[in-house]
Structure 1
Amino acid sequence: MINCKIESNQGLNYIDHLEIKNSLLIHTDLAFEYVSDMDVQLNCKIDSIKNPISGKIEVPEVDTLIMDSSKIDPEKKEIICPKVHEKLMHSDNNQKPKD
């Protein structure tokens, strides 16, 4: 997706090989959960990013970044974001950790 405007509640999750360039992702929370091999460049703030698996995300601002190492390997992704308001190292208590 290039030059797009996307609005989604908990969208863009459980995807393999996701590419988004020069786009807006508005009113979106818990984005990119379990997305692998991504190359994402956004031009607006995201409400929250949760447990992406691998790849690169470039975004100017995110309210909440959730990186639960019991579910994903935080070293397998690159997140370029100058403004992260809150960083959480755990996610839902009702989900089981990866084996």
Structure 2
Amino acid sequence: MLSALRLLAELVSNLVLFVAVLGALRALWRGPDLTGARLLVVDGMLLALNLKVVATLLRTLEVQTWPQIGLFAALFLLRTGLKRVAAWERAELRADPA
């Protein structure tokens, strides 16, 4: 059951990112709004990373050995770092819309 929930969270996160990229491409197709397109991608990436963290946390219930715990910790730190960078990028884009 947990594996199915984890896979569902992974699938939804991938779909969210895909839809965000399609929205950004659509925004670029309609006009030269590069900042708006970048904001769409960053917002989609942040939501997708949140869902990936949920999937990773669901995986913790299956972690049983020290190498698995280390891999989980490394993935969690990497995703947290990516979220901080994406949030910083979003703040920069919203502050300077030029």
TM over 0.5: no
Q: Which has the higher strand share?
A: 1
- Structure with the larger helix share: 2
Normalising by structure 2, we get a TM-score of 0.23
Whose radius of gyration is greater, 1 or 2? 2
| TM-score, normalised relative to structure 1 | 0.23
Which one scores higher on RCO, CA 8 angstroms, separation ≥ 6? 2
